[in-house]
Amino acid sequence: MTNLILPHGSNELNTLYIEDEMARSSMLSASAEMRSLEINSAAAANAVMMAAGYFNPLTGYMNKEEALKVSREMLTLNDIFWPVPIVNITTDANSLDYTHGEEIALKDPNVEGNPVIAIQRIDNVEKLSDDDIEIIVKNVFGTTDVNHPGVKNFKDQGKYIISGPIEVLNYSYFPHDFPNTFATAPDIRKMLTKAGWSKTIAFQTRNPMHRAHEELCKMAYERLEADGVLIHMLLGKLKEGDIPGDVRDAAIRKMVELYFEENTAIISGFGFDMMYAGPREALLHAVFRQNAGCTHLIVGRDHAGVGDYYEPFEAQEIFDLDIVRDSLKIEIFKADHTAYSKKLDKVVMMRDAEDHSKDDFVLLSGTKVREMLAAGQELPPEFARKEVAKILMTYYQERS
C-alpha cells in the first residue's frame, strides 16, 4: 500500500463536510429556524476548503486575536503554523446581536437562491478597527494599496469578524460546474493511492497551461524522479481578465491528453477564490497540497502574485524561514521563468540558459496573447500547443 505524506497539523484529515445524508438533511431543516447571514465569496470559499479537508486542521473561522496573530506570526492561537487568516467577515452590523453559542445559517452568495452552505456556532462577533485591517493586509499582502485586488477584496468584506466552528452542508457550485474536476483532499489522496504514487508534485494554476508550464511540470517530474504530477487548478473567483475555469479546464485536459505520457499526470481542481497574496499564498498552496497527499509543490517566478507587488522569487524565499521549514513536510521545487529558447530549440528555465539575451526566447505578455487570440491570430507553436490555442481562441473570439 502507498504511504502518503501526513496532513498538516494532525495525523488524519479533519473534513468539516457532513457526510451522513440524514444528518445533513436534518441540519438543513433545522437551519430554517435559525437566524441567517449571507456571507461573502471569500468566506464561502473558506467554508468549502475546510469542508474538503484542504484547510486541515482548522475547525472553523478565526477570531480577531487569531487573525492578527496569524497575519503577524503565521501561527494560530494553539501555535500551529498557518500563513493567512481564515475568516468570516461581514458588513452586517446586525451580526453584533448574535449570542455566544448561537447557531446561524450561512448562506451562499455564489449560488442562485442563496442556499445554506454551512451552520456556524458563534464563539464571538468582534469589530475590526481600521488599524486591525491595516495590520492584516500589510502582513498578508505585503501592501495596503487598494489597487491590489486582494487588498481591495479584503477591505470590501466589512469590519465585523464572526468566529466559531462550522459544519458544512455542501461544496457550493463547484461539483455542479466542474463535475469531473472538483475534488476534495481525501478524494485526491485516494487517487494517489490508486495510482501507486508516493512522490507527487503539485502544480498550481489559475491560467491555461502553455508550453512553458507543460515543460516545467515535466522537468520537475524528471529531476525529482517523481511518480507523477497533480495539475491542480483553482476553480473559484478570479480578477477581471483572467480566463474562466471551464475554458481553462478544457485547455489543460487537451494538453495532458495529447502531450503527457500516460499515468504521469492527474488533473483536478479546488474550490477557492484567488487572493493574489504572493509569498503568503504560496505557503497556503503548500499547506493544502500537503493535506492532499503531495510531497512537492512547484513554486515559480512571482507565484500567486499580481502586478509588481512582489519580488520575482519572494514566494520561494519565504520557504527558507525557520518556521516554515520546521512546520511543513511538503518541499518545493524552485522554478525560474520558463520559455522556449530559439538557440537551443527547446523549452528551458531561463536561469539554465547561458549566453542568452531576452531576444533569444519566445516571450509573449498576457496582454499580447489575449490580443492575438481575440484577433484570430495563431500563437507561435513554441509558445502554445495548437490544440490548446484553438480552445482559447474560440473563447476570446466569442467574447469579442
**Cell numbers at 234, concatenated:** 483553482
Question: What grid cell was written down for 34?
Answer: 435559525
What integer pLDDT is reported at residue 113 of this predicted model? 98
pLDDT at 1: 54
> Per-residue pLDDT tens for 379-389?
999 899 999 99
For residue range 144-170, list pLDDT tens digits in order: 999 999 999 999 999 999 999 999 999
CA distance 214 to 198: 21
Quick: pLDDT tens for 59-100: 999 999 999 999 999 999 999 999 999 999 999 999 999 999
| 8 A C-beta contact, residue 82 and residue 61 | no
Residue 365: the pLDDT is 76
Q: Taking a C-beta distance cutoff of 8 angstroms, is the pair 356, 315 a contact?
A: no
Percentage of the chain beyond pLDDT 90 is 86
Q: Give the whole-angstrom CA distance, residue 155 versus residue 166.
A: 23
Distance, CA of 259 to CA of 253 (rounded, Å): 10
pTM of the model: 0.95
pLDDT of 207 = 86
Per-residue model confidence (pLDDT) at position 391: 95
CATH class given for the domain over 21-172: alpha beta
- pLDDT per residue over 6-55, tens digit each? 999 999 999 999 999 999 999 999 999 999 999 999 999 999 999 999 99
pLDDT at residue 7, rounded to an integer: 98
Task: Give me the pLDDT at residue 166, please.
Answer: 98
Q: Quick one: pLDDT at residue 3?
A: 87
pLDDT in tens, 331-379: 999 998 888 899 999 989 988 888 999 899 998 877 788 888 888 999 9
User: Alpha helix (H) ranges present in the chain?
Assistant: 21-31, 41-51, 64-73, 130-141, 149-156, 174-177, 185-195, 211-223, 245-259, 279-291, 314-317, 322-327, 366-374, 386-399
Q: Give me the pLDDT at residue 107, please.
A: 98
Residue boundaries of the structural domains of the chain: 21-172, 176-399
16-42: b (≥16 Cβ within 10 Å) or e: bbbeeeeebeebbeebeebeebebbbb
Catalytic amino acids? 206-207
20 forms bridges with which residues in the sheet? none
**HEC per residue, 307-370:** CCCCCCCHHHHHHHCHHHHHHCCCEEEECCCEEEECCCCEEEEHHHCCCCCHHHEECCCHHHHH
For residue 371, the model assigns a pLDDT of: 85
Under DSSP, is residue 213 helix (H, G, I), strand (E, B) or coil?
Answer: helix
Cβ proximity of 199 and 234 under 8 Å: no
Strand 331-334 vs strand 296-299: parallel, antiparallel, or unpaired? parallel
Give strand pairing partners of 361.
341
| Amino acid letter, 318 | I
Q: How many residues does the chain have?
A: 400
Q: Which CATH architecture has domain 176-399?
A: 3-Layer(aba) Sandwich (3.40)
Please calculate the CA angle 120-123-126 and round it to the nearest 5 degrees.
105
Looking at residues 176-186, what average pLDDT do you find? 96
Q: Give the span between the Cα atoms of 17 and 361, in whole angstroms.
A: 47
Residue with cell 496582454: 367
Condensed to tens digits (0 to 9), the pLDDT of residues 192-246 reads 999 999 999 999 998 889 999 999 999 999 999 999 999 999 999 887 777 888 8
First to last CA, the chain: 52
The answer to whether 27 touches 69, Cβ cutoff 8 Å, is: no
CA nearest neighbour of 257 among 266, 246, 244: 266
